[in-house]
């Protein structure tokens, strides 16, 4: 009797398709950004630098699966705010007492086909007057910068990005403009991490006895993206199952051919 291999093969394919339909996984992606500038100071070569802050603001935004949550604060001297969604968290702080601005953003996707992002922004506004000095005076501006950026994707991850930005304006002119190149993880099994604490400084020249405007701005961003992928176990089961059944079919065909050959010999004798 001839083995009806097509029927067996169809059963295998149906079984494999059921496995594939019921077994799926989702890629993971992670982005963490922590950024701050603290202990902002102005030191004059002659006279005294009088730095007075007059306003503080903080903004946090989280975006996840089409939902957007935004929160802000203008409380002085300490502005703090946060925004939290399922896969995105952001918080920002502007502290006039400690001359500090900071932003933290996190986006982490798992078990979903979606995108998420978070954004934090902190600002300080004030004035600087050089008292007891005349003419042009050298003024040193310094602050402590702290930075942690971490991006990761698993073997099926699509995209993760961390971004930071800081600038300081004196009389509307940028003195510091530090935009760190975006830290990316694109594609599967990617990761990158940067951590640093250092002091930055720069010397500018200002007119003694004149009021100068100061504006400080800092931001951090985190963005991640995922897509649906087939579960590796499903692929393994499908391939191994078809391979196993192919071997079974070959054995059955060989046995059937042998039996038919013997039958033909018997009838011929």
Per DSSP, 207 falls in state E
In angstroms, the first-to-last Cα distance of the chain is 20
Residue 185 is predicted with a pLDDT of 75
Nearest-angstrom CA–CA distance, 176 and 165: 10
Per-residue pLDDT of the chain (269 residues; tens, 9 = 90+): 444 444 444 443 443 343 343 344 556 899 999 999 999 999 999 999 999 999 999 999 999 878 899 999 999 999 999 999 989 999 999 999 999 999 999 999 887 778 899 999 999 999 999 999 999 999 999 999 999 999 998 877 788 999 999 999 999 999 988 766 677 877 778 899 999 999 999 999 999 999 999 999 999 999 998 865 433 432 333 333 334 333 433 443 454 445 445 444 554 54
Nearest-angstrom CA–CA distance, 205 and 164: 28
Provide the whole-model pTM: 0.74
Residue 82 is predicted with a pLDDT of 97
Nearest-angstrom CA–CA distance, 101 and 145: 10
Cα atoms in the 13 Å half-sphere on the side-chain side of 187: 0
Crossing angle of helices 232-268 and 5-22, in 10° steps, is 170
Residue 229 is predicted with a pLDDT of 45
What one-character-per-residue DSSP string does 131-194 give? ET--SEEEEEEEEEEEEEEEEEE-TT--EEEEEEEEEEEETTEEEEEEEEEEEEEESTT-EEEE
Per DSSP, 94 falls in state E
Per DSSP, 114 falls in state -
Lookup result for tokens 């496995």: 19
How far CA 82 is from CA of 155, 161, 186, 266, in Å, comes to 31, 20, 28, 88
Beta strands per DSSP E along 48-114: 48-64, 67-73, 78-84, 88-95, 100-109
In the numeric block, which tokens belong to residue 115?
């995108």
């Amino acid at each position: 009797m001839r083995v009806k291999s097509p029927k067996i093969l169809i059963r295998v394919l149906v079984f494999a398709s059921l496995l594939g339909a019921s077994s799926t996984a989702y890629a993971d992606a992670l982005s963490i950004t922590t950024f701050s500038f603290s202990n902002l100071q102005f030191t004059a070569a002659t006279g005294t630098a009088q730095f007075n802050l007059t306003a503080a603001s903080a903004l946090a935004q989280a975006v996840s699966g089409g939902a957007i949550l935004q929160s802000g604060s203008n409380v002085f001297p300490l502005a703090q705010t946060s925004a939290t969604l399922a896969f995105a968290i952001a918080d920002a702080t502007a502290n006039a007492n400690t001359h500090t601005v900071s932003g933290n953003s996190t986006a982490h996707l798992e078990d979903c086909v979606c995108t998420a992002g978070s954004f934090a922004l902190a600002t300080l506004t004030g004035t600087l007057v050089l008292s007891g000095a005349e003419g042009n005076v050298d003024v040193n501006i310094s602050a402590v910068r702290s930075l942690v950026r971490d991006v990761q994707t698993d073997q099926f991850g699509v995209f993760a990005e961390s971004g930071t930005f800081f600038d300081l304006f004196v009389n509307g002119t940028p003195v510091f403009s530090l935009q760190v190149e975006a830290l990316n993880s694109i594609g599967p099994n990617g990761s990158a991490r940067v951590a640093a604490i250092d002091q930055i400084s720069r010397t500018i020249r200002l007119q003694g006895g004149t009021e100068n405007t100061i504006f400080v701005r800092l931001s951090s961003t985190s963005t991640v993206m995922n897509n649906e992928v087939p579960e590796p176990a499903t692929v393994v089961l499908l391939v191994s199952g078809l391979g196993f059944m192919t071997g079974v079919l070959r054995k059955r065909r060989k046995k059937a051919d042998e039996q038919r050959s013997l039958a033909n010999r018997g009838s011929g004798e």
